[in-house]
Structure 1
């Protein structure tokens, strides 16, 4: 990041980094000293200040800066607003819960689930869904989507179970190269010990009542929440009857989907087609 770049030309993380640098210098601290005070390396601080740390600085670092600088909740609050600012307001309540969940059960019928989308795939989706947005606005949305993966870096990372309908894998989003990259990433995701991955094949028909995408969040407190999304926005549901019906549907979907091994085999087959 060029120090002469006007603030209005910086993305949110670059502005965050510039603010950290300005306060650090005002407090007469080196990057090494700030790193030691917050529990991070000098290199980490450098990447934060340049706006190049992906997916984003941690809340622990932001809170450490606030404590070291004596700035209250300034930087931790700013980081939280950055996370929320590039998402629709109706999606923010879901994001706040997603970070606290112990299990995430996701079923998607037409697009790859957001939390496991690649940069290129997410960019193609946002370009279609936000046709009048500027290139900068699209990039901010892409970065915000990728930052959702930070939950898997937490000490108590959630267990993710993803069921994708075969439609998600065969609908070409962004071109063959983008799809190949996305499917390759899905195989990486499927290999994680914190993830279970299945594909719902066309041959399964309609195994459950729900034909729409939905996500169930489960928490250590035994609370369970259902999230559904429509064209006009998303909605959280926590009534026992509604949540139980969704869990019953998810059990049926799991039973009718391909096994994890067969799911990966299908992805490998499709990957060869996209690369060809």
Structure 2
């Protein structure tokens, strides 16, 4: 399903939600209270600005007695998009975020990846997949990264553990280009990246990726990822603790200037390695 037609389908979802809500004689605030979200969220669903999670769609069906129509629409729309079910909602939130802060313990974050690096990651996870399937995944990841080129792009701040620079994903040439890409974005001041060096030793969030997202008209959200699963958390206490961990990471990491110098140095190491092989 093309992006335009998918957006039109979500707009239908929103229009149908508004019609059914008004037929039931409920305000956005009243429906929101029944499905455990704010009235503002209901308004954003109806305008197709924000997409509900599956459990919210199910509670809407229950509250409005709609015989599962919103769950069926949700499953249809999620199935026909290029991201895994658990990650699809994160992609939508990235597009709405005013600020994104990530910690990457092992792999360069998707928003910073080059096509060659992304391809190597996908091949490692899908060793028997067809070329067509891998290229579809790569295109989806590059489409996500376009938000960093938009005039309304979010503030993007990433802390990368030095491990993510040293693991030769795709080989020396691919890694050199990947690190050059990050350095270029840093020099253009499109992103702010810090490196957490090996010498930092024990640190907050050891081995656990996280993504903090802030929005103009919605509470902040934390995304964490496990094995073939992901979790979105918006409990204020959890978000506050996660933000504190991220602040500790930033305080422990190298400065922006030292991080850039290290990234460029490691890229040059990869180029020397490529020349000697």
1:105 aligns with 2:118: no
How far apart, in 1, do the equivalents of 2:97 and 2:188 lie?
A: 18
1:133 maps to 129
1:148 aligns with 2:139: no
2:202 maps to 206
Deviation string, structure 1 residues 229-248 (Cα, Å, up to 9, x no partner): 01121110000111111100
How far apart, in 1, do the equivalents of 2:91 and 2:266 lie?
A: 31
2:232 maps to 236
Q: CA deviation at 1:189?
A: 1.5
- Contact residue 210 and residue 249 of structure 1 kept, 8 A: no
How far apart, in 2, do the equivalents of 1:173 and 1:209 lie?
A: 23
Q: CA deviation at 1:149?
A: 1.7
1:226 aligns with 2:191: no
Deviation string, structure 1 residues 196-216 (Cα, Å, up to 9, x no partner): 110000011122145301000
- Contact residue 90 and residue 223 of structure 2 kept, 8 A: yes
How far apart, in 1, do the equivalents of 2:102 and 2:88 lie?
A: 17
1:123 aligns with 2:123: no
Question: What is the DSSP-based 3-state SS (H/G/I as helix, E as strand, rest coil) of the residue aligned with 1:85?
Answer: coil
Question: What is the DSSP-based 3-state SS (H/G/I as helix, E as strand, rest coil) of the residue aligned with 2:159?
Answer: strand
Q: CA deviation at 1:222?
A: 5.2
Structure 1 residues 83, 219: closer, same or farther in 2, change over 3 A?
A: farther
- Contact residue 195 and residue 253 of structure 2 kept, 8 A: yes
Tell me which stretches of 4 or more aligned residues in structure 1 moved more than 3 Å: 81-84
1:94 aligns with 2:90: yes
Deviation string, structure 1 residues 157-213 (Cα, Å, up to 9, x no partner): 100001100000000101101001101001011123341110000011122145301
Could you tell me which of 142, 157, 172 is aligned with 2:153? Answer: 157
Q: CA deviation at 1:154?
A: 3.1
Could you tell me which of 208, 213, 228 is aligned with 1:217? Answer: 213
1:171 maps to 167
Question: What is the DSSP-based 3-state SS (H/G/I as helix, E as strand, rest coil) of the residue aligned with 1:229?
Answer: strand
5+ residue gaps, structure 1: 1-11, 17-80
Structure 1 residues 124, 244: closer, same or farther in 2, change over 3 A?
A: same
Structure 1 residues 84, 185: closer, same or farther in 2, change over 3 A?
A: farther
5+ residue gaps, structure 2: 6-76, 273-277
How far apart, in 2, do the equivalents of 1:123 and 1:142 lie?
A: 6
Question: What is the DSSP-based 3-state SS (H/G/I as helix, E as strand, rest coil) of the residue aligned with 1:178?
Answer: helix
Q: Using structure 1 for the length normalisation, give the TM-score.
A: 0.68
- Name the count of aligned residue pairs: 199
Root-mean-square deviation (CA, aligned residues, Å) is 1.9
How far apart, in 2, do the equivalents of 1:209 and 1:110 lie?
A: 12
Question: What is the DSSP-based 3-state SS (H/G/I as helix, E as strand, rest coil) of the residue aligned with 2:148?
Answer: helix
Structure 1 residues 154, 90: closer, same or farther in 2, change over 3 A?
A: same
Structure 1 residues 217, 107: closer, same or farther in 2, change over 3 A?
A: same
Q: CA deviation at 1:82?
A: 10
2:193 maps to 197
Structure 1 residues 83, 167: closer, same or farther in 2, change over 3 A?
A: farther
Of the structure 1 ranges 164-173 and 86-95, higher mean CA displacement relative to structure 2 is found in: 86-95
How far apart, in 2, do the equivalents of 1:155 and 1:189 lie?
A: 15
- Contact residue 84 and residue 92 of structure 1 kept, 8 A: no
Q: CA deviation at 1:275?
A: 0.4
